[in-house]
Amino acid sequence: MASMLWETLSAARDLGRLHDIASILIRYGFSDMVRRLGMANALEHTGRVLRWKEVGELARLEPPERVRCALEEMGPTFIKLGQILATRMDLFSPEWIVEFEKLQDRVPSVPFEQIRQQLQEDLGAAPEEVFAMLNPQPLAAASIAQVHRARLQDGDEVIVKVRRPGIRSIVETDLRLLQRLAKVIETESQEMRRFRPQEVIRQFSLSLRRELDLAAECRNAERIARNFAAHPEIVIPRVYWEWTGERVNVQEYIRGIPGRDLEALDRAGLDRKILAQRGDQAVLKMILEDGFFHADPHQGNVFYLPENRIAFIDFGMVGRLSHDRRSQVVDLLHGLAEREVGSVVEVLLDWAENAEIDTDCLKLEIDGLIDQYHGVPLKELKISAVLADLTTLLRDYQLILPPDLTLLIKSLISLEGMGCQLDPEFDMVAEASPFLRRAILARYTPDVLARRGWRAIASGLEILTDLPQDLRHLLRSARSGKLQVHVDITRLQRFGDQLDRAASRLTMGIVIAALIIGSSIAMTIGRGPVLLGLPMFGLLGFIGAAIGGIWLLLSSRRSGRNL
């Protein structure tokens, strides 16, 4: 494993970062992991020394808490990874999810003087020329960027989000190391392979690289704003594109009540029930109708405005659902809400793809899961509890959710939690039911059926049009002797395996017979070395034949056959 890791570390600049990561892991009591992953040997090739005795007090904590603390110390990339892992309830048990959710993306801010030059390059002018006021003290600072309050020359109040200088090179180094380590883990560990570490890191890399592009966040915001153009109760900050780029974006400053300040909400006379309902309907619309949703709708990303309006901010992390995936989600949620076991099982089997599972047993488990909620009034039925039980069931069966669904489940659970904080009687099932019914009915409208029909006719005509040419190729291949027919039948495979084992035994039998004959001839020769009073070569031949005979006997017994 160490040699594999060493061969993949092609860039010397990555070794310094690898040393830092390995040192942190050792300090938190994960020295065995450093050795098993080959990190130690890879570093020793370059003469870098690891201090194996540097084990801190935190090494005595429980593994989930130690991992969380180590991720925090390893920096922004690993904090983001932990936050993504907090969405993977299909992979990790609740105690791990709780610790991952504690990862806070708050770091000391970069002094304004250190970002002034970068900001001037991105704006194309000195900050003082663009802004009538720019507060050097940030409103918030995270691992990727920090936010400053400002006012444009025309008087518009805005926020200026600036990417941290040098953060891209740090993130890219970390992603290269994570990709290499994931490959080593998946290659060497059968136990870890089921977690698909390479796929998890690939999805994480795509998400993090999008988040590094601050202009992408603004494109996300404008797309969601277009989807809510007919909903004045939902506010999305305006983007000032003339000052926006990859490393900086300028957006409208939202003056409202932060989602966490419920007391201020009451003092302002806003209606909690209406806010909970509107927030829920907004997110459900994003998921079930638009297929493009805010993937982190927690209280810090929500502001409450006069007239019970709601503003969403920070669209760095969004989820995307294809039309087919939305249809599956609708079937799953409708099946859970209406307690239809068959619909739920069919969707899960589609998501499981080619996984080897006991379908009948899975159906019984899901039937039992849904039955435990039978008789519970819809008002008391919590989608978060049902989804949590469902993901636990998936984890027990070692079924991995498609990556685009993990953010969805996390968003639904966060949404219900936020709704219940606003309104203790919040009923998410009742709010979701109209969306689900509309989505199901939309499949059978005349326009949709007509489009499906035309697509089917077009596909059929295309097949008929190509048929003569395909037949011509088939006949030409047959005449030239190049026609190949591949048959994949399980019974034939087993029969081939049996023939292979039989041939191996037959070969061993021939070898044993040859040893016996050769040894018998060697015994009749009076010259040569002697062992225990017998010709040595003849004696060794008989011993080899005896060992081969015992192996052949045991092999036959294991296969359930007698010689």
Q: Residues 552, 563: contact at Cβ < 8 Å?
A: yes
Q: Residues 88, 101: contact at Cβ < 8 Å?
A: no
Helix 323-338 to helix 341-352 angle, to the nearest 10 degrees?
140
CB-neighbour burial class of residue 408 (10 A; exposed 0-12, middle 13-18, buried 19+): buried
Beta bridge partners of 257: 304
- Per DSSP, the residues of 142-163 read -SSEEEEEEEETTS-EEEEEEE
Alpha-carbon span 51 to 276, nearest angstrom? 53
Give exposure, 261-287, as e/b (b: 16+ Cβ within 10 Å). ebeebeeeebebebbbbbbbbbbbbbb
Token pair for 366? 């899901």
- CA neighbor of 345 nearest in space, from 324, 361, 356, 322: 361
Report helix, strand or coil for 248: strand
Token pair for 297? 């709708």
How many angstroms separate the Cα of 338 from the Cα of each of 364, 386, 392, 476?
Answer: 17, 12, 21, 56
Cβ–Cβ contacts within 10 Å for residue 354, how many?
A: 5
> Annotated catalytic residue: which of 296, 314, 331, 427?
296
Tell me, yes or no, if 296 is annotated catalytic. yes
Q: Are strands 234-235 and 309-312 parallel, antiparallel or unpaired?
A: parallel
Identity of the amino acid at 152:
L
Residues in CB range of 252: below 8 A, 6 or more apart: 156, 157, 158, 159, 237, 238, 239, 240
Q: Residues 387, 417: contact at Cβ < 8 Å?
A: no
Residues in CB range of 350: below 8 A, 6 or more apart: 328
Strand ranges in 125-246 using DSSP code E only, listed in sequence order:
131-134, 140-141, 145-152, 157-163, 234-235
Catalytic residue positions, numbered? 296
